[in-house]
Structure 1
Amino acid sequence: MRDREAATPGLEGRRLSTKETAELLGVKPETVYAYVSRGQLSSRRDPGGRGSTFDAKEVEALARRNMRETGGSSSTGGELSVRTRITLIDKDRYYFRGVDATELAARYSYEEIAEWLWTGELRPGVTFTAPEASVNVARRAVDALPEHSGPTDRLRVAAIAAAAADPLRFDLSEDAVLGTGRTLIPTLVAALPPLRHDHRDEGPLAQRLWGRLSGRTPDDASLRVLDTALGLLVDHDLAASTLAVRVAASARAHTYAAVSAGLGVLEGPLHGAASGLAHRLLLDVLDLGSAAPVVADELRAGRRVPGLGHRLYPGEDPRARALFTLLEDVPGAAPALAAARDIVTTTARHTPLHANVDLALAVFTVSSGMSASAGETIFAIARTAGWIAHTLEEYEERPLRMRPSGRYVGERPPQPLPGPLGR
């Protein structure tokens, strides 16, 4: 702490240019003048008349103050903290740009929520459509994958193929990124192989996605659950995949590449694939008729029971609560709902864990005749909109700021050169 608070050598008595001040504070030059207008910094006109200068000691004090106020490592126990206006999680509720996310998902479509997240404006009735050329390239790339490829494999390849087909992908202006988001998401959906020969790519995104997840004809209640799930899962603060997206955006990777980074992390079993584990657990409970032996087998194998608990919600996951309410109206969902309740009740005998969104997704996928990987697909498509919102924010920040320093714990130099093996 003392090292961090100590004055930087060589700054005592110096005057800094606007550029130097912005770099030291980690902000854009315009923000420096905003600090001046708010009385947080004092400036002096350069004698040469080419701009303003700032007292180095005052700038350094402001930098330290900003670090404390924005959650630097000195106040978060070493955890990375990133300023964002997108999502707030607070007391078993979460908010998109200050609005209750569950209320947004109950009233608006996935595309409308995505627009709200990106622009802070609602566009009633908006639907996303993909250019035919982009879809064709993405489909050809996905079709070339082995048959056993998972959904995230397909989506990542589709994103890379769509990027290669877009000569404007390196344009990181806000309008260009918004345009990419509105076409990339439907391209990802369209690139997935349909499960019915009579499936048509039209209507809301949830309807188009359904035909890639289930061979059944959808009813209105099921489509509502799918669309609501997409809206609920759009963003969830700095999850691991979202952090990867922001690191990529910090390095000024284009939007397709940033989304691809998120998809890579999402494939981990502790993140996007969690709903698949809950799906298989539900099937086992339905097969045996009771959660008790299934839960016992999970615990005996040293595994945590999937679909339960969330580190950010001491109580009930609000996303699960919203989906379970809607699932009550889905024809044929009653057995899976009962199995989910049995799992919660069985584990609650010793550990008061609540159902999380993965268990709710599993109830939906099981009762809709979908595969175990369907929840991962829903999660990935939904979260793409949130990732794009985070790229928009990160492109406005100082480049390459996501560069923590390593704490070296190896052998201290100088060490002798190693000799060849076997001698």
Structure 2
Amino acid sequence: METKNIGLRNIPIADTKISLIDGEKGKLIYRGFDVLDLTKNSNFEECCFLLLHDHLPNRIEFNEFTTKLKEARAIPEQMQKNMKNWRKNAHPMDVLQAFVAALAGYYDEQGSEKEISQQRAINLISKVPTIIASWERVRNDKEPIQPDPELSHASNFLYMLTGNKPDKEMERVFDVCLILHADHTFNASTFAAREVASTRAHMYSAVSAAVGALSGELHGGANYEVMKMLLDIKDENNATNWVKSRIEKGDRIMGMGHAVYKTVDPRSMVLKGLSKKLSEKTGLPWYNITKKVEETTSEIMKNRKERDIFPNVDLYSASVYYMLNIPMDLNTPIFAISRVSGWAAHVIEEKFAEAAPKPMLYRPKATYVGKYEGPQGCNYIPIEERK
């Protein structure tokens, strides 16, 4: 009997304490905390600690943790020199994947296996933004900007990227974006990280694999496609006809619909508010165009009585990043700046979970539907005798 490829959807494969998606209620939970509550009251560094340690830090723990993050921000000078050997049009995700893997060759962390994994988690959370900002500078023939220990995680990245320190409002907008993207259970990239970790490979290998999975347009590349759509529409008055034309052709409207959420993606609600705020601040039209795309798509699908469709995290994040002056092809690497905290937490859980102190090697079963023995089998014919 042939087994259809359903992408492991709705098939539980492991327990986790890290995050929960309630698709029916439209909730996302980090270690018991509603992500909407965290975006109102917390910051990205605190959320990283929560994901890694299963509790919110007290003041001493928070100060120690943020100090470690700041001390680990710089990347080796040789790594930045090596970037100059790459072609300038190399995709930022390819650069990121390569240099994440390369970190293993630069650092020799000491301690127990779990302590080493925690050190590598700090290294990755701190250095991924520096790798991305350095590449953006290098490919534009500019010298990389070194991290500023006086700045927050969000503010420091924007500073290293542009050379300008963002105002508090812009800093907070980006900080909230990082919180929203920090984890999302067993998505494709997280599953890739855990699968590699299950072989007992180290943290850098697992996260490099996750970066590779994130690079695909069906996963991390979707908000890039959303921004291309908005630039194509150009004006709010063009949105309705543009959407109708695409749907009539059977094309998908990027940023609409989700594989897990059956109602509104809670992250999209926050990002919608951020997009509106930035549009009002900058005078740019992207929020209004995006809102029109959302409304038109929802109305058409409802009139067809097919299903209700709601915006996902990509619809409004695209315009938010664009209005933060982040180059479009850095949208997916920005995703990685945040999600690396979740990847690291999942790798540690995969390796050291109390219920399973040794990782169970992932080894799914496939149904072979090709040729075998009997009438459908293959007999080897020497190459000289083949027609």
Measured against the shorter chain, the TM-score band is 0.7 to 0.9
Distance 2:79 2:234 in 1: 38
- Contact 1:225 1:327 survives alignment (8 Å): no
1:295 offset after TM fit, Å? 1.9
Answering whether residue 193 of structure 2 is matched by residue 245 of structure 1, we say: yes
- Runs of at least 5 residues in structure 1 that lack an aligned partner in the other structure: 1-75
Superposed, 1:155-234 pairs within 5 Å as 155-168=96-109, 173-192=113-132, 193=134, 201-202=147-148, 203-211=151-159, 218-234=166-182
Secondary structure of 1:382's counterpart equals: helix
Distance 1:198 1:260 in 2: 22
1:319 offset after TM fit, Å? 0.5
Residues 168 and 95 of structure 1: CA distance in aligned 2, closer, same or farther (over 3 Å): same
Name the aligned partner's letter for residue 404 of structure 1: P
Aligned to 2:79: 138
Secondary structure of 2:232's counterpart equals: helix
1:244 offset after TM fit, Å? 0.7
Distance 1:211 1:285 in 2: 31
Aligned to 1:340: 290
Distance 1:162 1:77 in 2: 33
Secondary structure of 1:89's counterpart equals: strand
Aligned to 2:369: 409
Aligned to 1:281: 229
- Contact 2:236 2:285 survives alignment (8 Å): no
Distance 2:160 2:245 in 1: 33
Distance 2:30 2:364 in 1: 28
Distance 1:100 1:144 in 2: 44
Aligned to 1:102: 36
| C-alpha distance after superposition, 1:242-283 (max 9, x if no partner) | 111011000011000000000011111100000100111122
Distance 1:404 1:163 in 2: 28
Distance 2:113 2:41 in 1: 30
1:100 offset after TM fit, Å? 0.6
CA RMSD of aligned residues (A): 2.6
Between 262-271 and 144-153, report the one with greater CA deviation: 144-153
Distance 1:83 1:235 in 2: 15
> Greater Rg, structure 1 or structure 2?
1
Name the aligned partner's letter for residue 298 of structure 2: A
Between 135-144 and 332-341, report the one with greater CA deviation: 135-144
TM-score normalized with structure 1 length = 0.75
1:337 offset after TM fit, Å? 1.1
Greater relative contact order (Cα 8 A, min sep 6): structure 1 or 2? 2
Distance 1:107 1:413 in 2: 64
Distance 1:290 1:367 in 2: 20
Answering whether residue 17 of structure 2 is matched by residue 85 of structure 1, we say: yes
Aligned to 2:275: 327
Distance 1:147 1:315 in 2: 42
Distance 2:219 2:178 in 1: 16
Aligned to 2:5: none
Distance 1:191 1:117 in 2: 22
Secondary structure of 1:94's counterpart equals: strand
Aligned-pair identity in percent equals 29
Distance 2:112 2:28 in 1: 29
Name the aligned partner's letter for residue 328 of structure 2: A
Between 392-401 and 249-258, report the one with greater CA deviation: 392-401
Name the one with the larger helix percent.
Answer: 2
Aligned counterpart in structure 1 of residue 320 of structure 2, from 361, 364, 368: 364
Distance 1:111 1:333 in 2: 31
Distance 2:37 2:183 in 1: 14
Aligned to 1:57: none
Between 113-122 and 330-339, report the one with greater CA deviation: 330-339
Distance 2:200 2:109 in 1: 14
Secondary structure of 2:383's counterpart equals: coil
1:408 offset after TM fit, Å? 1.9
- Contact 2:194 2:206 survives alignment (8 Å): yes
Secondary structure of 2:76's counterpart equals: helix
Distance 2:227 2:243 in 1: 14
Residues 384 and 378 of structure 1: CA distance in aligned 2, closer, same or farther (over 3 Å): same
Aligned to 1:27: none
Q: Number of residue pairs matched?
A: 347
1:227 offset after TM fit, Å? 0.8
Aligned to 1:64: none
1:236 offset after TM fit, Å? 0.3
1:376 offset after TM fit, Å? 0.8
Secondary structure of 1:329's counterpart equals: helix
Name the aligned partner's letter for residue 188 of structure 2: A
| C-alpha distance after superposition, 1:36-69 (max 9, x if no partner) | xxxxxxxxxxxxxxxxxxxxxxxxxxxxxxxxxx
1:154 offset after TM fit, Å? 1.8
- Contact 2:275 2:317 survives alignment (8 Å): no
Distance 1:382 1:308 in 2: 22
Aligned to 2:48: 114
Aligned counterpart in structure 2 of residue 316 of structure 1, from 264, 269, 281: 264
| C-alpha distance after superposition, 1:81-115 (max 9, x if no partner) | 21101011112001011111221133222121011
4+ aligned runs moved over 6 Å, structure 1? none
Residues 413 and 152 of structure 1: CA distance in aligned 2, closer, same or farther (over 3 Å): same
| C-alpha distance after superposition, 1:136-168 (max 9, x if no partner) | 243233332211122211211221221111223
Secondary structure of 2:109's counterpart equals: coil
